[in-house]
Chain A
């Protein structure tokens, strides 16, 4: 394998029946699989056969009102990833957890547990929650404002990282003779007292095999980018064009420098949805087949929800009512996605129906329809142009879309020297080429009681 070329990284975005919104209606899909561990094991093992860096599960703490149209992600990420850890040996396992409706102590130990169980393959996609449907599952208070959620997220991360460092690497002595399990001098209370949290520590688990599980982030608003550049080691992002991707890449990596971080300590992975055919015509036919299964009723709902405006009264074949659309500043969640949709519609002069179809495949992420060679060409172009370090792979339909990618596109990337032919490392951190974090010192040791 030629080593002169920059290696790309691939994460599989595992999502129920696939990323196309009508995938569950496709004859190949298995909607009942969303509660079946065997379904996920097969997908994870396929991804591992393709030597992908990691797989990833999104998550939310509520049921969207559009549930009658859409198959839901059903199995909770920590439980699902722990079971997948047993069925795989190398692939990284990235789970989503929200800083809005969790306790830092719980999240810290869940990721350390997963890291121990998987032998150093855990990663955390850090999100803030959206929507009152989620908020009211935890209390009768509404969702906090966007800026407050991010302030809380920042402090949440401080606490979690301190908890991860509360056990030194060699704290466990396991001296059975003298009944000494740990060396108290290597265990530290964190005594965090901040704006939101008061946490004593130490954590109740030995330090994670990776030191810290890999931190992933996907917020794309200005606040989200600042947050990501301050700590994320991988970023999932939705970029519609290569030029947008370049701008985003340059912006986030520049922000990293401002935070005193080297740009190579983060991998930027734009969403990438390939509709694959052996010939170009076959791929186009596949996309048409999927689009025919979409339900405009759902599409209008999806757009209305995102744009915070009821679009049901507007003609499907007319333009978006730009003048009446709420300004972005009034939007409290998914800010960046909101802007991306408006720009896409304006740039390509799309009707409401066209915008629905344009975003049905991958919800605003980049999508490409073509042969394995065409798809590999495009991936290479993004890497060479400084728009990506790799991709967040979003097959339109499972399991076929993943099988085709692993069997046809991966070998093409390997032949070009762009992608590994074997795993070289054992941990997720090693797959992404990320350094193991240093322990921060300065915490006080726990006195033996």
Chain B
């Protein structure tokens, strides 16, 4: 299969849209050739649209790893942390198959099973491939995917192709061994531990070779990169260009997670992660080169459910043992539900197409394209609607409105300030924390909002807006943008507090 060079498609269709956006929420998929779109439309990790409807799960069958990354400490066993590389219980392939069937029967929207660790799946070839082999036979309606650091990838391509895995994620943080040596202190290669630049060079060569081999076999490749300020932040633009050139279909730049209490090398040493603005700027710069993914939630290696939620607790080994799963019956039910979701998505797509025709400002400033783009935060509990109370939002989706339309930028996590207890002394500081998470935004859209946060948001230069409750996000964002143009708000400079600080 030949993959289209994404950049060319982009330029041809829209004259380039790296800085100002190019349409719908789903713009990370809209430029893909139809055959790829077909493969990924119901994969929550690839499609911003699909992730509101379809769920994924990871089974933790792969504890061993063959390299060391400075952002990982290999103590994977933690119930309360939510980040890649962390799981509650390791599973044998047999337990993993049981758990997958149990989840598939109870959460019929679950379409994708991934093996993502907690170590490197391909450094555990027997456990990983045994799980894939059995699932492709016993649960053929589930898509399989795998993520890897790439070191053992070239040797695994043949086997991956056999199990009908059509998506692989490779984490590629660099293409330069000098930079690699600051991220990977050592690798285990040909029965030796190889340190520093020499090890990083081998890892990089294996990643690139693996990427080329997968593309040649027609297996879709997504590339994940961890943005590490002062180490690879500038370099990732080159990584993006190279992996796109070699045929990766999506690039996902994620922020470094480096809390000291996680005990990773970077955490202990005080390496900082990027700010929201730094991450957004880099994603924008990379998107000139290729399709960017912006809705990744950096989930645990045993996550279950929709992105951003984790229902793993409902499917512990003792709970699964008590479930009696008739998979044949479950598959029939799943097919009906998947059909229903497909119809709902098709309906939305139709609406979106109608919206696309009017998405350029049509108000009094229709011919003026000089207005600045505006960032807006949205509180939503899913379904593409503005349907969440400001105080209940654990994350906000950030959209940009401009004369080119509306596009999804990222999600930002916040602490919930409203826990239903007015005597909570932490309330005010947590609220100011959530306001800080909205820096750079000029508007926040939600279904409802309290009096107190309303005032504080206004003081911070962020206009709260509850007028578009239960409306589709993109339409509401564009309506507010047009209103801002009509009322002359965009004739004024951006409010001081909403300025993006570098």
Q: Do A and B come from one complex?
A: no
